[in-house]
Amino acid sequence: MPQVVKIKRGLKINLPTLVAGEMGFCTDTKEVYIGDGAANVLVGRAMMGTYASRPNAAVAGRFYYVSSGTNLGYVYLDDGVAWQRANVISLADLTGTLDNVADGTTYGKVKATELSSGQVSRISDGTNTVTAAQARTHIDDVTKHRLINDSGTATTDLWSAQKINNEIELAKHNIEPQASVKDQNLATPPGSPVTGDRYIVAATPTGAWLTHTNHIAEWDGAAWQFYVPDVGWNLFVDDELKLYGWSGSAWVRTGGALQTVTAGSGLTGGGQADSVTLNIGAGNGITVAADAISAKPYKGITVDANGVAANIDADSIQYDAANGNRLMVVNVDGGTF
């Protein structure tokens, strides 16, 4: 039967002061202590004491903890030749620069004199270095950098992109309304307009068009927008297929595809066909052919290359230019018998 040697054991709370060389095992904490006659020393614990009490470095791998006095809290490692400090207590223990800290390919450093309250207070482009205050002064210098001023109209004022876009849209309205309108005879807004529909507001308008006579009304999808015409604006009226221009006081017709000619005085036609027929009756010396009208000379009427002329004898018939360019019978002679 093998021999078993047991050391003193029990709960840590019941561990007595061990005599020098006596060992004790705490069954609950699994710790082993050895007595020195005055106190129990944890087996395996780093040596500890004052910095001056360290033994001579000679056994590599030993640790010594400074438990009081100078260098309190530091741990030293015996490398077999000297004690090397193995931990740090504050940033003052660190040596070197940030150049020693690499991110794999690049690294950098910041001088302590260039930090203010933990933040970098200088900037550099590699050649020139200025303080953050100098950079801010430069940025805020309106003589060097113009500021955004959407309400400004001076040549040195800057507008935001939104302001510029709005101004472009407003400028376009001087051109867009001249494209066409659907009608120019409505005084009451249509009930179901489509976005982009435009009208010339007729006289005595009502509803949303009130007070906008002769203005161009455009539906933007939610409300009516109104444009006051300038002299020279021209637009096409869709339902009439005619062009109108603003004279400064009224919309005046300037042209269009459909020209209506009122029949009368020998004229017929007009309307959408844009054609007018001139009816001329033939006879009494007038000949009408398919594409020409001619006069036949007879009884004092002469027709030649110069046109049609009437012979006047100047005795009985005279040309009276002073009285409407008329022919006047001067002498009526009954003759002799």
* Residues with pLDDT less than 70, the chain: 97-108, 172-178, 256-286, 290-291, 298-300, 310-315, 334-337
Phi, psi of 20 (to 5 degrees): -55, 125
The count of other CB atoms within 10 Å of the CB of residue 164 is 12
What is the distance between the alpha carbons of residues 175 and 199, in angstroms, rounded to a whole number?
Answer: 15
Model pLDDT for residues 167-181, shown as the tens digit of each residue: 887 776 655 556 789
pLDDT at 38: 92
Please give the angle made by the CA atoms of 37, 41 and 42, to the nearest 5 degrees. Answer: 155
Phi, psi of 209 (to 5 degrees): -90, 0
d(CA 114, CA 123): 9
pTM of the model: 0.34
Integer Cα distance of 230 and 249 in angstroms:
10
Q: What are the residue boundaries of the structural domains of the chain, listed by start?
A: 8-88, 176-252, 296-329
> Angle CA(227)–CA(228)–CA(230) in degrees, nearest 5?
120
pLDDT at residue 108, rounded to an integer: 67
Which of 281, 310, 285, 277 shows the shortest CA–CA distance to 294? 285
